[in-house]
């Protein structure tokens, strides 16, 4: 989640803009065109926008708006908050996230009535796309394998945003933003998990956060290890500070990028070459020969490799040196 500072506004109004993640590892552009990596497990019912909106009301005055493009988003903002109240809205909202995000505001020092969750149309279940696949840029296929199913993971991300609509998630420094992201993940799990799907959803969440933290996420969303420590009973009480976690993911990301470029046939590595780089680094980590020595890098690489195998077993099996 990106937490922007309060936007400069007219004297009595400010807005807060929060998202799931935006940063991206730049080494991977060329996608393998050999087809989807796995067939999605379509076991859950597809939630409609109306279903989700009904659920939101349990948590306060929260609205959900699915938008098709930037013009539609700006029209909604003008209708609800008034673009005239926001200094330089074109710059403020110059680049919208690809993932669900939350917009809140304050007027005269008091919270405005409605917290708005915005969802790009192309990541909704009704679009036919899988939100996890879309947020991972299709690198591991457009149809993934899950412990649950695409409908459940969509609801989990919406409930993640619901948590950000609560006042204790407004504002704060980088450490607070990182803590809020972890907290929102756990809140969403507890709200939608059942006795039947909890283990599967935990597996999906850990895999998603390991991949996004290692390859895509901005600093506040580099929560893969702390989320895993909170959810995986085999973690046995491990803990990590925000600074340690962010440093570990940034350094491991650089290592992955360098190795992917080193083994690539062309200037830009393909997704197959990226997976190969990760599995080779995992093998080195398990053998104790990984260089340079980076704190937490071995467990990140092992967890990342496992996460790719979780979502894309066919793709992973094509190149994996560790099954």
Query: What is d(CA 83, CA 7) in angstroms, rounded to the nearest whole number?
Result: 12
All residues at 6 or more sequence positions from 197 whose CB lies less than 8 Å from its CB, including other chains: 147, 148, 152
| pLDDT, tens digit, 9 for 90 and up, residues 176-198 | 888 899 999 999 999 999 999 99
| pLDDT, tens digit, 9 for 90 and up, residues 102-153 | 887 665 566 666 788 999 999 999 999 999 999 999 999 999 999 999 999 9
Whether residue 317 is preceded by a cis peptide bond, meaning omega within 30 degrees of 0, is no
CB neighbours (10 Å) of residue 73?
18
Residue 44 scores a pLDDT above 50: no
Question: What residues does 232 pair with on adjacent strands?
Answer: none
Q: Work out the pLDDT band at 43, boundaries 50, 70, 90.
A: very low
At residue 48, the pLDDT reads: 53
At residue 26, the pLDDT reads: 31
Poorest-confidence range of 52-56, 228-232, 239-243?
52-56
- Nearest to 316, CA basis, from 134, 135, 137, 145: 145
**What is the model's pTM?**
0.83
């Amino acid at each position: 989640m990106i937490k922007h500072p309060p936007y400069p506004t007219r004297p009595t109004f400010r807005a807060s803009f929060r998202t799931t993640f935006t940063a991206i590892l730049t080494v991977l552009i060329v996608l393998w065109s050999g087809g989807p990596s796995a067939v999605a497990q379509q076991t859950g019912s597809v939630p409609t926008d109306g279903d989700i909106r009904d659920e939101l009301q349990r948590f306060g005055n929260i609205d959900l708006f699915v938008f098709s493009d930037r013009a539609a988003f700006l029209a909604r903002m003008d209708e609800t908050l008034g673009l005239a109240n926001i200094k330089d809205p074109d710059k403020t909202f110059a680049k919208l996230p690809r993932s669900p995000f939350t917009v809140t505001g304050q007027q005269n020092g008091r919270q405005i009535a409605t917290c708005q969750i915005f969802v790009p149309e192309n990541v909704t279940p009704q679009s036919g796309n899988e939100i996890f696949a879309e947020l991972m840029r299709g690198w591991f296929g457009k149809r993934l394998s899950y412990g649950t199913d695409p409908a459940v993971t969509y609801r989990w991300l919406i409930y993640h945003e619901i948590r950000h609509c609560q006042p204790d998630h407004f504002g704060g420094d980088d450490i607070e933003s990182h803590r809020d992201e972890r907290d929102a993940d756990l809140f969403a799990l507890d709200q939608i998990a059942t006795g039947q799907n909890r283990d599967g959803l935990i597996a999906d969440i850990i895999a998603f956060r390991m991949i996004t933290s290692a390859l895509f996420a901005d600093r506040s969303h580099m929560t893969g290890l702390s989320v895993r420590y909170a959810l995986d009973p085999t973690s046995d009480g491990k803990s990590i500070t925000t600074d340690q976690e962010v440093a570990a993911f940034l350094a491991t990301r650089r290592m992955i990028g360098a190795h992917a470029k080193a083994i690539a046939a062309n200037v830009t590595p393909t997704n197959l070459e990226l997976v190969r780089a990760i599995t080779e680094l995992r093998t080195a980590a398990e053998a104790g020969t990984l260089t340079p020595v980076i704190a937490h890098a071995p467990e990140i690489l092992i967890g990342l490799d496992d996460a790719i195998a979780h979502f894309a077993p066919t793709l992973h099996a094509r190149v994996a040196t560790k099954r």
